Amino acid sequence: MKKNNITAFTLIELLVVISIIAILASIALPAFVSVQTKGSQTKALSNGKQIALAMRLYGSDHDGIYPSYVVDANGVATTTPPTNVASSNDAFCQLFPTYLKTESIFYVAKSAWCPAAPDEKMDATLLVPSVSTLATGENEWALVLGLNDTFNPSVPLIADGFITGGESSHTYTKDQSLKGGVWKGAQAIVVRADGSSGALQKVDATTLTVIGPNGSAAGTQGDIFTTANGANGWLGITNVVANPK
């Protein structure tokens, strides 16, 4: 009678295979996560540029004024300082429905500022602050207030939201579970006032701010959101940052 020879893995062989799979997974996983992050950043940057373009279109219909100043009873922007704009949502809501049709471009996945996708519910008429349009938790983007189309095109217009209370320090965090930590304090998306230029900027590891040219009289680099260099064609004292709501 012919015997069937049955072959099988030994315990050692099985452990070797498992070890190899574990090593390959440890190599592939960081690369996969990196690709996912890059994809999210590319999408967010594209959305940011669309928002900036909508603001420029708004400005072309409102004497160059971007939506952040006080609006009157007829919904028309004035040159009054933005005392009623407590959040960037209050300014961005003025873009609907004429210049933007969807709230989804204000959403960035994994941002603590917008834990869920917007519900696309909007106010029937313009309200500042809004009720349904870009309600709390439906926006990731911070906004520099008081800008218009005559400003230096290189000044920052919108950027990823900062830490809670970090509007004046312009600070991010390395903790992705916190507001201001969407890119883990390593990078930040910044779109400039000309609306067409935007980029992923490196965040300084020590100060957790975005460092670059900022109109300093000495020509040195520093916090690009500083309001101290307005006399040199940069941001002035009224160009403060409003965080999301």
Q: What is the pLDDT of residue 65?
A: 85
Q: Is 68 helix (H, G, I), strand (E, B) or coil?
A: coil
Q: What is the pLDDT of residue 78?
A: 61
In tens digits, the chain (245 residues) has pLDDT values of: 555 555 666 778 777 778 877 777 677 666 555 667 888 999 999 999 999 999 999 999 888 888 876 666 665 656 565 555 678 998 999 899 999 999 999 999 999 999 999 999 999 888 777 889 999 999 999 999 989 889 999 999 999 999 998 888 999 999 999 999 999 999 999 999 987 778 899 999 999 999 999 999 999 999 999 999 999 999 999 899 999 99
Residues 6+ apart with CB under 8 A from 186: 174, 202, 203, 205
Here the tokens at position 144 are: 């520099």
User: Is the whole-model pTM more than 0.85?
Assistant: no
Residue 165: HSE in the Cβ half-sphere, 13 Å Cα cutoff: 0
Q: What is the pLDDT of residue 169?
A: 93
Report the Cα 98 to chain-centroid distance in Å.
Answer: 22
Q: What is the pLDDT of residue 140?
A: 97
Domains of the chain, by residue range, sit at 12-242
d(CA 182, CA 162): 9
DSSP letters for 97-149: TTT---SGGG--TT-TT-SS-------SS--SS-SSTT-TTS--EEEETT-BT
Q: What is the pLDDT of residue 73?
A: 60
Q: What is the pLDDT of residue 26?
A: 72
